């Protein structure tokens, strides 16, 4: 077992408001090995983007890390001063966001944005930085990179912009990339191009990826392991094949059943009634208990912790000591 690149331990994120403190992330635990792709999946409000933001140190105030630790290569990064964290961001953790238009500065050429990142983090000359930037653009499949490097973001299409953002994230050779819904704003045909590009480049550069998305199809194609989030907690985590084909948590099976499949016909989709609880109204016990088809008395009182369930780990009372009753 290699030492994990990223460790998230008992992470708890709070939002203090006038009407009391909202608990957005509660006791999140996971690890990412070097070069591994971990998918983080969940519905809106489950806390998946927040987990990414906490790791790159970009939580929007008043959100704050209340307790827990985030370790990158064994070093704690969640309590670093702002200037220290700036050096890590970009150099050791790259970020890709959902909307490629808002993550590029419209007033600078993409060449300037790329070389700025490279010069900030790496000891190279301006000329070398430019050559490196052109090479990165070529790697991400941008045609005529030598000319296009001097263009502005608005001169690129959505898919091309997202390629530039990927180049930007990889510019300083980080070991970890946090990709928050990198393909959600793109059309399906472009989405497939970007996903295979991201996968290939991260493999070439040896970067691990935390891929945040709500699209199970993207997860299935891309990831090694996946964490399913529900109401700010990890409901299930494990190898992607096991989570998709043999889920242990009723929420995961419900989520899988509600996705229309391409290879089978069903008259009705499996449906999870109700919707995810609001943060100010998370039920006692297991947060999923009001929607769970297999709810027991215990689920309404006690909160289950993650425990081994065959190949995966699930936070559910149905899973007991490795036996899988569902």
- How far apart, in whole angstroms, are the C-alpha atoms of residue 51 and residue 118? 26
Nearer Cβ to other proteins (127/273):
273
Q: Residue 144 Cβ, how far from other proteins at the closest point, in Å?
A: 14
- How far apart, in whole angstroms, are the C-alpha atoms of residue 141 and residue 249? 40
- How far apart, in whole angstroms, are the C-alpha atoms of residue 121 and residue 86? 10
Q: Residue 163 Cβ, how far from other proteins at the closest point, in Å?
A: 11
Nearer Cβ to other proteins (1/268):
268
Q: What is the DSSP letter of 23?
A: E
Nearer Cβ to other proteins (102/275):
275
Q: Residue 173 Cβ, how far from other proteins at the closest point, in Å?
A: 25
Nearest to 174 by CA among 51, 90, 272: 90
Q: Residue 160 Cβ, how far from other proteins at the closest point, in Å?
A: 8
Nearer Cβ to other proteins (50/240):
240
The beta strands (E) that lie in the chain are given as 6-17, 20-32, 37-41, 64-72, 75-76, 93-96, 176-180, 208-213, 225-230, 233-239, 307-309, 312-314
Nearer Cβ to other proteins (80/326):
326
Nearer Cβ to other proteins (65/282):
282
Q: Are 148 and 142 in contact (CB under 8 A)?
A: yes
3-state helix, strand, coil in the chain (%, to 5): 35, 25, 40
Chain-centroid distance of CA 273 in Å reads: 26
Q: Residue 107 Cβ, how far from other proteins at the closest point, in Å?
A: 24
- Tokens for 23? 């608990």
Nearer Cβ to other proteins (167/216):
216
Q: Residue 69 Cβ, how far from other proteins at the closest point, in Å?
A: 30
Q: Residue 250 Cβ, how far from other proteins at the closest point, in Å?
A: 12
155: left (phi over 0), alpha (psi -120 to 50) or beta: alpha
Give the interface with other proteins as residue ranges (CB under 8 A): 43-44, 157, 159-160, 187-193, 195-196, 214-218, 220-222, 240-241, 244-245, 254-263, 266-273, 275-276
Read out DSSP for 175-221?
SEEEEESTTTTS-HHHHHHHHHHHHHHHHHHT-EEEEEES-HHHHHH
Nearer Cβ to other proteins (263/321):
263
- How far apart, in whole angstroms, are the C-alpha atoms of residue 233 and residue 90? 27
Burial (CB < 10 A; 0-12, 13-18, 19+), residue 232, is: buried
Q: Residue 102 Cβ, how far from other proteins at the closest point, in Å?
A: 18
């Amino acid at each position: 077992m290699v030492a994990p690149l990223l460790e998230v331990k008992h992470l708890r994120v709070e939002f203090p408001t006038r009407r009391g403190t909202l608990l957005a992330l509660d006791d999140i635990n996971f690890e990412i090995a070097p070069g591994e792709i971990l998918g983080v999946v969940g519905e809106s409000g489950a806390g998946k983007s927040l987990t990414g933001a906490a790791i790159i140190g970009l939580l929007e105030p008043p959100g704050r890390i209340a307790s827990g630790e985030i370790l990158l290569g064994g070093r704690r990064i969640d309590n670093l001063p702002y200037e220290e964290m700036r050096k890590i961001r970009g150099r050791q953790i790259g970020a890709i966001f959902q909307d490629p238009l808002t993550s590029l500065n419209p007033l600078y050429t993409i060449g300037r944005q790329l070389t700025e990142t490279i010069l900030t983090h790496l000891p190279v000359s301006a000329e070398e930085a430019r050559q490196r930037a052109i090479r990165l653009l070529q790697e991400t499949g941008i045609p005529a990179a030598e000319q296009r490097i001097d263009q502005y973001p608005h001169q690129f299409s959505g898919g091309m912009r997202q390629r530039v953002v990927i180049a930007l994230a990889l510019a300083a050779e980080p070991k970890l990339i946090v990709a928050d819904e990198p393909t959600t704003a793109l059309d399906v045909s472009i989405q497939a191009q970007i996903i295979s590009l991201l996968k290939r480049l991260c493999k070439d550069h040896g970067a691990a990826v935390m891929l945040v998305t709500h699209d199970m199809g993207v997860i299935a194609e891309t990831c090694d392991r996946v964490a399913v989030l529900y109401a700010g907690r990890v409901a299930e985590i494990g190898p992607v094949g096991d989570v998709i084909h043999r889920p242990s948590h009723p929420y995961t099976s419900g989520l899988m059943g509600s996705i229309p499949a391409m290879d089978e016909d069903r008259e009705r989709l499996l449906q999870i009634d109700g919707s995810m609880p609001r943060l100010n109204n998370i039920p006692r016990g297991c947060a999923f208990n009001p929607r769970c088809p297999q709810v027991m008395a215990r689920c309404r009182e006690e909160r289950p912790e993650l425990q081994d369930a065959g190949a995966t780990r699930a936070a559910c009372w149905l899973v007991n000591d490795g036996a899988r009753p569902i």
